[in-house]
Amino acid sequence: MGILITGGTGFLGSHLTRHLVLDKGCDDVVLFDNLPIVERIADVADRVQIVRGDVLEIQNLLETMQRYDIERVVHLAYLAGGEIDPGRAVPYVRVQCLGTINVFEAARIHGAKRVVNASSVAVYGVPDGGVKTEDDPIFPNRPYAACKAWSEHMAEVFNGWGMEIVSLRVASSMGVGRLGRATLKAGLTTETVNFQAAPELAATGRPVTMPPADQRFDFVYVIDTAEAFWCALDAPTVPHAVYNLHAEERLVGELTARIGELVPEAEIEVADAPRQELQLMDNTRLVEELGFRPRYSLEGGVAAYIEAVAQAPRTLVKEA
């Protein structure tokens, strides 16, 4: 009974794939990707099935689920957060929303046991200084956030039809591939470099600009993000349909100091004011109900990130 990951060679997908195969011993993982980047999973490529397919084609999804007897699905085939230009809303929403509903419907028809949907902290909207729980209202104020919120609402509809879809509101995750998200996405959206890609910038000799030291943020290393998805896939029961996902709340200054400690030659500038406010979340529900236990503190995660950058193929690490 297989596990299907849409967007399986993307940033989160590739780390989740490796985590399932190497850490959880899964031998039934199927990656469904429109443009597979096999080198991202080169060390486990011979232990997974890779299907080139488009989430906009529901028949393609359904045939794949049937062929590989898929029992559980992780939906990660999504355009990364960012801005869209006027005139791009229709094709953008088509990818984000039609692709998601196709995954849900194919899973329903096939009879998949559980679907884990990647939502985002972005659904909470403009930060108001509070720490959000899953019971707080959401106010998505950008196209990416609106589509993620829509996916959560449609999951509720499908759950009313006998499905078991759980959405994880993922905080920005740190790890190799984070920097590569800041590129043109299918001609539909662009994303600025998130400060959590700073370890990769520093490790490859590029200057880094960090937010003010006293700004707080939710830290999670991408391996722990993958572990949270595993918890949602593997839990015998899932009491709620939505969970906040991060590892720990930290100060940006602690991240800046850790990068400077590990890369002494790094050129680091600290901004006088934050570029944007950062939303904080409470992850108690994920810990208590699904047994999430992050392995990486900020200190360990930054060290692991920099080590992974040194080991990654040059084609996967942007040139300085």
Please state the domain extents for the chain.
2-316
Report the distance separating Cα 156 and Cα 294, nearest Å: 27
Least confident of 147-161, 181-195, 266-280: 181-195
Quickly state the pLDDT bin for 185 (edges 50, 70, 90). very low
The residue with tokens 């950062």 is 278
The 10s digit of each residue's pLDDT in 131-176 is 999 999 999 999 999 999 999 999 999 999 999 999 999 999 999 9
Average pLDDT over residues 10-19: 96
Write down the pLDDT at residue 177. Answer: 85
Indicate the pTM of the whole model. 0.94
* CATH architecture under which domain 2-316 falls: 3-Layer(aba) Sandwich (3.40)
Residue 187: predicted pLDDT: 54
Name the band, by pLDDT with cuts 50, 70 and 90, for residue 318. low
Question: How many Å apart are CA 169 and CA 28, to the nearest integer?
Answer: 26
CA distance linking residue 259 with residue 95, whole number of Å: 36
CA separation (Å) from 42 to 4, 37, 74, 183? 18, 9, 20, 22
Decide: 20 and 230 in contact? Cβ < 8 Å: yes
pLDDT of 288 higher than 80:
yes
Write down the pLDDT at residue 184: 38
Tokens, residue 149: 């919120």
Residues 6+ apart with CB under 8 A from 139: 124, 125, 126
Three-state secondary structure call for residue 270: strand
At 88 the pLDDT is: 87
How many residues does the structure list for the chain? 320
The answer on pLDDT for 182 being more than 50 is no
Confidence of residue 192 (pLDDT cuts 50, 70, 90): low
Over 80: is that where the pLDDT of 239 sits? yes
